[in-house]
Structure 1
Amino acid sequence: MDVMNRALVKKCISDSQWLFLSLAVLLFVFCWFRVWIVSFLEMPSFAAVVQPLWEKFGQFSPVALDHLLSYPGRVALTFVEPLVFLSIVIWGIARGSDAVSGELSRGTMEMVMAQPVSRLQVLYTHVMVTVAGLVLLCFCCWFGILVGVETTQIVEPATRPSWTIPGTEWTFSLPLGRAEPRVVGLATKVNCRDMIPPAINLLCLGFTMSGLATLFSSWDRYRWRSIGIVSGIFILQMMAKIGAKSTDSLGFLQWTTFLSAFEPQIQVQVAVDYPAQLWSWRLLDVAGETGGLGPLSSNAILLSIGLLSYLTATWIFCRRDLPAPI
């Protein structure tokens, strides 16, 4: 890496360091806290809350009730907490919109381009730092869950002592024993490796948003307008996803939103219950019928949108006239 490239990398890191540090701490602490909260509501109590609501609102859950009422299913809800996925979206939009229109708005693009660097170097140094930040933020999210799982204890329902006949699998409950609840570590119920696929899915969402933000930034000169356009697109995509789940008459909307490919809960369910399908393009249910998008398809869709956006942004930026600073 030559001196000028190192200078560009240092500039990009300097521009984004405070946003990155604040989001990294927020994601780590919140994910740890969110997993810790699981210990406050025992599974029978959680089931008593969810089951009466399932008949009316079950269509909003992408996973089966049995999985939702398991500890991996409850921990997986962390990835769909608004604070978590919106933090990743904020990073993608904030850093993507800064690539071109941000520099033009500040009047610094002319100074950068006056140096012995190409437009391609300027753009892709920014992209490299943005994507590296995405990877680290998603790691902070997963690491917060890991620490939460390893440090949290849960109370299992009271059961009577049992005795197993040596050399056999026959187990008998002892009628004279007193039923007592057991305190066990959450790590005995949740394998944190099963949380890696949803973290990757979250990363792919961030890649899509940063790509779209870079695309609109590449032809605009005002950063606020780039942010507004991409934020509006994200809100419309959210509305389409919610509408598709609300009623069958709007089910077609699921094919109009890339957020249909963001389903971290499904990724956890596949990792726990159907590990053989973790890298499949299409899911097969118990009956062997074709189901929804597999984890590989979901991630590929998001990555393709992000990559296409970056390539289009490159084409636009390398050919456009850069306005003089005002």
Structure 2
Amino acid sequence: MTFTLVRKFLRDVRWPLLVVALQIFGFSMLWVKVAQRVTTEIAPFFNGIAMVSQINPKLFEEVVFKGPGKVSQSVLGGSDIQFERPNDFLAVELLHPVILILTGVWAIGRTAGAVAGELDRGTMELLLSQPIPRNRLILAHLITDAIVIPILCVSVLGGTRAGLEVMGPFTVDYSVLDKMPKLPGGRPLPKGPAELPVDVSRQPRAIVNLAALMFAISGVTLAISSLNRSRWRAIGFAVVVVMAMFIVNVLGQLWEAAAPLRPLSVYYYYQPQRIWLKEDWIVNLSDVWPGSPGVPLVGVLAAVGAVGYASALLVFTRRDLPAPL
């Protein structure tokens, strides 16, 4: 009977799942083109200006990411990201608001309807009129998450690889350097490699962090859904909670006084660029909480999701279900 429920839940979400998966796939393809243009055309242009002007190229980053621009830098991975490197720029995709919004909306929208949505539609009585223990209903949603979350993650992987096949190699365009003034002594501006190396072999590891984030948001939302009878009210509460955690994490990077609040946000443990570029799966809490140990990024998110599901199970199996309106 549990797998009958799983089939029902998958049937209910098949079209929204297809739409979101295609959007993620398309954006991942597009991001490859953006990365190619920035690293092979725009970055050489600014590096050429820096050489002619005899200034440090880092000065451009300081100007671009100064003031309000620092918010964008914080959202896109902080100062560790080198935007002239293809691998770094491709890793930024997993931190882009489009990916965060699509995956967040999916996680909230699906699990908000798990309990509150069924009560809202009046279908919960039909489900529970069958010989199904309430805990099987929560288990079925857990299995559904274990199926649909990897599908969305594969959409990112597939889009990136399709983009690399379609866009071709990252061949650097140095023609703009020939139009710039010469260096002292009439020397031409030096050129780098003709083609930039691209390595996405570590992307699947970073995607595990994305899957863990979606599971954490799903768990939190399911716990909220188990306390409500209105799907839209559950969505509203979940959006407020998730947005508050996102804002706290960004604010903590911009304002030192708010930094100790960052570990309370699930987004603090979402650092896919760290896994992709450095193979570092541990975040050191002592950076914001002196004396604290390092904790696993994926482990914390998985624990949050598990606690959310456990809370939903505890509440749902004990609450009196209201009659449909």
TM-score normalised to structure 2 length? 0.80
Cα distance change of structure 1 residues 293 and 42 upon mapping to structure 2, 3 Å threshold: farther
CA–CA distance in 1 between the matches of 2:118 and 2:232? 12
Deviation for aligned residue 1:247:
2.4
Read off the aligned partner of 1:238 and give its amino acid letter.
Answer: F
Q: How does 1:171-250 map to 2 (within 5 A)?
A: 184=195, 189-250=197-258
Contact 2:220/2:238 (8 A) holds in 1: yes
CA offset at residue 306 of structure 1? 0.7
Instruction: Give the aligned partner of residue 184 of structure 2.
Output: none
Match of 1:33 among 30, 36, 39: 30
Note if contact 1:28-1:144 (Cα within 8 Å) is conserved in structure 2: yes
Q: What is aligned with 2:183?
A: none
1:45 paired residue among 38, 42, 45: 42
Q: Do residues 257 (structure 1) and 265 (structure 2) align?
A: yes
Give the distance between the partners of 1:54 and 1:181, measured in 2 at CA: 23
For 1:88 and 1:198, locate their aligned partners in 2 and report how far apart those are by CA, in whole Å. Answer: 15
- The 8 Å contact of residues 263 and 269 in structure 2, kept in 1 or not, is answered as no
Aligned-pair distance for 1:18?
1.1
Q: Does structure 1 residue 73 correspond to structure 2 residue 88?
A: yes
Distance 1:293 1:190, change over 3 A: farther
The AA in structure 1 aligned to 2:238 is V
Partner Cα separation in structure 2 for residue 122 and residue 319 of structure 1? 14
Mark the CA change 1:66 to 1:262 in structure 2 (over 3 Å): closer, same or farther.
Answer: closer
Query: Given that residues 67 and 269 in structure 1 are in contact (C-alpha distance below 8 angstroms), is that contact kept between their aligned partners in structure 2?
Result: no
1:155 maps onto 2:181 in alignment: no
Structure 2 alignment gaps of length 5 or more: 48-56, 176-189
CA drift of 1:63 comes to 5.0
Q: Report which stretch shifted further, 47-56 or 79-88.
A: 47-56
Unaligned runs of 5+ in 1: 160-178, 272-277, 284-289
Identify the residue that residue 168 of structure 1 maps to in structure 2.
none
What is the TM-score of this pair, normalised by structure 1? 0.79
Give the superposed CA RMSD: 3.0
Query: What is the DSSP-based 3-state SS (H/G/I as helix, E as strand, rest coil) of the residue aligned with 1:53?
Result: helix
> Superposed, which structure 2 residues align to 1:309-324 within 5 Å?
309-324=308-323
Distance 1:6 1:297, change over 3 A: closer
Greater share of strand? 1
